[in-house]
């Protein structure tokens, strides 16, 4: 979402406070890295959440440079399949963790 919105917010790619900035995107993932919040595979969560929070301050896409994890390919494939097959609740595998833990309040 940030990568898609960035060119609209920063058409001159100057970061927060830079010339041509249209708006400011402030993102702070609630419960980032936890099952009840935004999360990925578990091994890359902390780095991704930290990069998102740095972006909210800097407005620079370079905050995401060097971030990569195998789970991004699996996620992209799951999204592609969900768009191809009209299933109301999706067909993605359980993202991680024990189902009972996911159902309990954190
Ligand atoms: Zn990952």
Encode the chain (106 residues) as per-residue pLDDT tens digits: 999 999 999 999 999 999 999 999 999 888 888 878 888 888 999 999 999 999 999 999 999 999 999 999 988 888 888 778 776 666 666 544 566 776 776 6
**Positive/negative CA dihedral, 92, 29, 41, 66:** positive
Ligand 1 centroid to Cα of residue 41, in Å, is 4
**Cα of 22 from ligand 1 centre, angstroms:** 32
Q: pTM higher than 0.85 for the full model?
A: no
Q: In Å, how far from its chain's centre is CA 7?
A: 17
Please give the distance of CA 93 from its chain centroid, rounded to a whole number: 18
Distance of CA 23 from the midpoint of ligand 1 (Å) = 30
CA dihedral 96, 56, 5, 90 (to 10 degrees): 20
- Are 106 and 34 in contact by the 8 Å Cβ rule? The answer is yes
- In whole angstroms, give the CA distance from residue 66 to residue 12: 22
Phi, psi (degrees; rounded to nearest 5) at 91: -125, 10
């Amino acid at each position: 979402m940030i990568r898609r919105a960035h060119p609209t917010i920063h058409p001159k790619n100057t970061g927060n406070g830079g010339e041509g900035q249209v708006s400011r995107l402030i993102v702070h993932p609630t419960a980032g890295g936890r099952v009840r919040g935004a999360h990925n595979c578990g091994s890359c969560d902390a780095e991704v959440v930290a990069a998102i929070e740095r972006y909210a301050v800097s407005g620079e896409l370079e905050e995401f440079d060097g971030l990569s994890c195998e789970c991004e390919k699996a996620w992209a494939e799951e999204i592609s399949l969900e768009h191809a097959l009209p299933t109301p609740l999706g067909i993605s595998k359980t993202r991680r963790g024990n189902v009972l833990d996911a159902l309990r309040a954190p």
